[in-house]
Amino acid sequence: MDDEYAKLIRRMNPPRVVIDNNACEDATVIQVDSVNKHGILLDVVQVLSDMNLVITKAYISSDGVWFMDVFNVIDHNGNKIRDKEVIDYIQRVGVHVRLENNPSFAPSFRESVGVVPTEEYTSIELTGTDRPGLLSEVCAVLADLHCNVVNAEIWTHNTRAAAVVNVTDDSSGHAIKDPVCLSRIRDLLCNVLRGSDDPKTAKTTLSPPGVTNRGRRLHQIMFADRDYDRVERAGQGRYRDRDRDRSRLPNVTVVDCIEKDYTVVTMRAKDRPKLLFDIICTLTDMQYVVYHGVVQTARTEAYQEFYIRHVDGFPISSEAERDRLVQCLEAAIERRASEGMELELCTEDRVGLLSDITRIFRENSLCIRRAEISTQDGKANDTFYVTDVTGNPVDPKIIDSIRREIGDTVLQVKHDSYLSPKSPRTTTIGFLFGNFFKARSLQNFKLIRSYS
C-alpha cells in the first residue's frame, strides 16, 4: 500500500525543471522540484555531469516529502547554457525522464572482474593491484583475443586499480557473445590482474547487464575493493611529495548538529569537473541521505557542506563510522583527481592501437594513473594522466621522444598538474550553510572528528 501511495503521489506531482539564464550574471540557474525519494539528488547531479556541465553553486533541500534543489551551471568553456537542444534535453529528456521512470537508485555491488555482454559491446570490469605497465598488459591480452576497445575508463588509487572497458569483436564489430570466448577473456585478464603478493583474492564473475553510470560503477568497484583503507606509502615518490604539499589533499570534517539531529559533513578540496557527483555518489551508495546542503566554488577551490542522516533517519553515532565516512569521501575525491601530466591522443582508430600506445608508454617508464578512452566515427580520442614509475613528474625529454615516435600531431601535452599554481588555504572551516537554521552559533555543534 505504501508503494502504491508513493506512485500515486509521483503521478499527481510530476517533476518540474526550470532553467533561467537571467537570474544570474555568470551562470545558468536550474531549479528542480519533485516528490522526494532516496537517490533523487544523485539522479539529478548525474544528468548534469553526464552532459559535462560544471556546477559552480548548489543549494539542496529535501527535508520532508518534497525535493527542491537549485544549481548554477556553466559549460566547459565557462559560458551559460544557451544551446536550445541542451536546454530541452535537461527539461524533457534528461532530468524529467530520470526522475519519473528510474525509482531504483543502485544495483547491488559486484566485486572482482565482470564481463557484461550487451547488444553493442561487451563491458569488462577489472580490479586489482596497481603496478607499472598494468594497462599495457591488459590491452595486449585484449588485442591478442581480437577485442577492439570502443571506450574505457581507468582509475588508480591507493595501490589499487579499477577499469570499465567496453569492447567489440574486431571481425564483426559487435558484442562478444560466445560463452567460450567470454570465459577465456575473463581467465586471461584475471591472470594479468592477480599479483603474486596481492593479499586480495582475484575473482571472475559473469554479471547481468545494467545501466549504471560508468563513473558510479568505478566508485562502486573501488569501494568494494576497499581502496579507502589507509596503507603504508613509504617508498612511493608521489605520496611523499603529496605529504609535503598538504594543499593537494582534500579536507573532510565530520560534525554533529546536536539541536537538529543531523550529522554535518564539510569538504574542501581543489575544484574539478564531476567533484559533486563523486561526493553524492559515495554518500548515496553508503546509504546516507542528504537533507540540506550547499556547494560553492572560489577560484580553484570547492567547498561543500551537507546535513545527512542514515536512510533509517538517524545521524552517525559511532567513532568507527565517522572514521570510515571520512576515509571514503577522501577516496572519492582522490580517485578522479588528475595527477601527473595530461596527454591527449587523437588519431584514426584501429584494432590494437591502445595496445601499441600503452606499450610505448611502458617501454619509456611511464606509469598511467588515470585514462579515458573513447572512439567515434573511426577516430580515437584518448586522454592519459602519466607520471614516472615512482610517481614523480615525467622528464620532458622522454615525452618529446615519445611524441616523435607516435607523431607530434597525434600526441599532445595538455596539462601538467605538478606545474599548477597552488590554491590558497584557509586555516579555519566555516559552516557554509550556517544561516539556514535559526541556531547559528557554533556552540550548537559538537566537533567529533576532523581529518585533513
The pLDDT value given to residue 74: 95
**DSSP type of residue 391:** S
Q: What is the average per-residue pLDDT within 168-184?
A: 89
Which residue reads 564539510 in cell numbers? 266
The half-sphere exposure of 147 on its side-chain side, counting CA atoms within 13 A, is: 31
The pLDDT value given to residue 416: 75
Indicate if the pLDDT at residue 441 is higher than 60: no
> ∠ CA(422), CA(334), CA(193), 5° rounding?
135
The pLDDT value given to residue 450: 44
The pLDDT value given to residue 451: 42
3-state secondary structure labels for all residues of 161-229: EEEEEEEEECCCCCCCCCHHHHHHHHHHHHHHHCCCCCCCCCCEECCCCCCCCHHHHHHHHHHHCCCCC
What proportion of the chain, given as a percentage, has pLDDT over 90?
52
> ∠ CA(316), CA(319), CA(324), 5° rounding?
80
The pLDDT value given to residue 61: 92
What proportion of the chain, given as a percentage, has pLDDT over 70?
75
For residue 434, give every residue at least 6 positions away whose Cβ sits within 8 Å of its Cβ, in sequence order, or none: 440
CA distance 445 to 258: 6
Q: What is the average per-residue pLDDT within 265-272?
A: 94
Indicate if the pLDDT at residue 58 is higher than 80: yes
CA–CA distance from 385 to each of 5, 167, 244, 249, 415 (Å)? 49, 22, 21, 18, 9
Between 437 and 118, residue with greater pLDDT: 118
Indicate if the pLDDT at residue 252 is higher than 80: yes
Q: Which fold would CATH assign to domain 341-414?
A: Alpha-Beta Plaits (3.30.70)
Chain segment 207-234, per-residue pLDDT in tens: 444 556 889 999 999 999 999 997 654 4
The pLDDT value given to residue 93: 58
- Do the domains 1-103+255-329 and 341-414 sit in the same CATH topology, yes or no? no
Chain segment 8-41, per-residue pLDDT in tens: 655 666 678 899 999 999 999 999 988 788 888 9
Between 366 and 13, residue with greater pLDDT: 366
Please give the biggest Cα pair distance in the chain: 68
Indicate if the pLDDT at residue 440 is higher than 50: no
Q: Which fold would CATH assign to domain 1-103+255-329?
A: Biosynthetic Threonine Deaminase; domain 3 (3.40.1020)
Least confident of 39-48, 219-228, 438-447: 438-447
DSSP class per residue in 20-72? ESSSSSSSEEEEEEEE--TTHHHHHHHHHHHTT-EEEEEEEE-SSSEEEEEEE
Q: How confident is the model at residue 311 (pLDDT cuts 50, 70, 90)?
A: very high
Can you give the pTM of this predicted structure?
A: 0.83
CA distance 67 to 17: 12
Q: Class of the 113-225 domain?
A: alpha beta
Q: How confident is the model at residue 238 (pLDDT cuts 50, 70, 90)?
A: very low
Least confident of 263-267, 272-276, 446-450: 446-450
Indicate if the pLDDT at residue 73 is higher than 80: yes
The pLDDT value given to residue 116: 54
With contact defined as beta carbons under 8 Å apart, do 74 and 81 qualify?
yes
CA distance 73 to 153: 25
> ∠ CA(45), CA(277), CA(74), 5° rounding?
60
With contact defined as beta carbons under 8 Å apart, do 356 and 334 qualify?
no
The pLDDT value given to residue 284: 95
Q: How confident is the model at residue 53 (pLDDT cuts 50, 70, 90)?
A: very high
Indicate if the pLDDT at residue 377 is higher than 80: yes
Indicate if the pLDDT at residue 322 is higher than 90: yes
The pLDDT value given to residue 62: 85
Report the sign of the C-alpha dihedral through residues 428, 434, 440, 443, in that order: negative
Q: How confident is the model at residue 299 (pLDDT cuts 50, 70, 90)?
A: confident
Which residue reads 533541500 in cell numbers? 61
Domain ranges of the chain: 1-103+255-329, 113-225, 341-414
Q: What is the average per-residue pLDDT within 132-159?
A: 94
CA–CA distance from 30 to each of 25, 74, 379, 432 (Å)? 14, 11, 34, 20
Indicate if the pLDDT at residue 235 is higher than 60: no
For residue 79, give every residue at least 6 positions away whose Cβ sits within 8 Å of its Cβ, in sequence order, or none: none
Q: What is the average per-residue pLDDT within 392-412?
A: 94
The helix (H) or strand (E) run that includes residue 359 is: helix 353-363
Q: How confident is the model at residue 65 (pLDDT cuts 50, 70, 90)?
A: confident
Look up residue 218 and give its three cell numbers.
Answer: 568505478
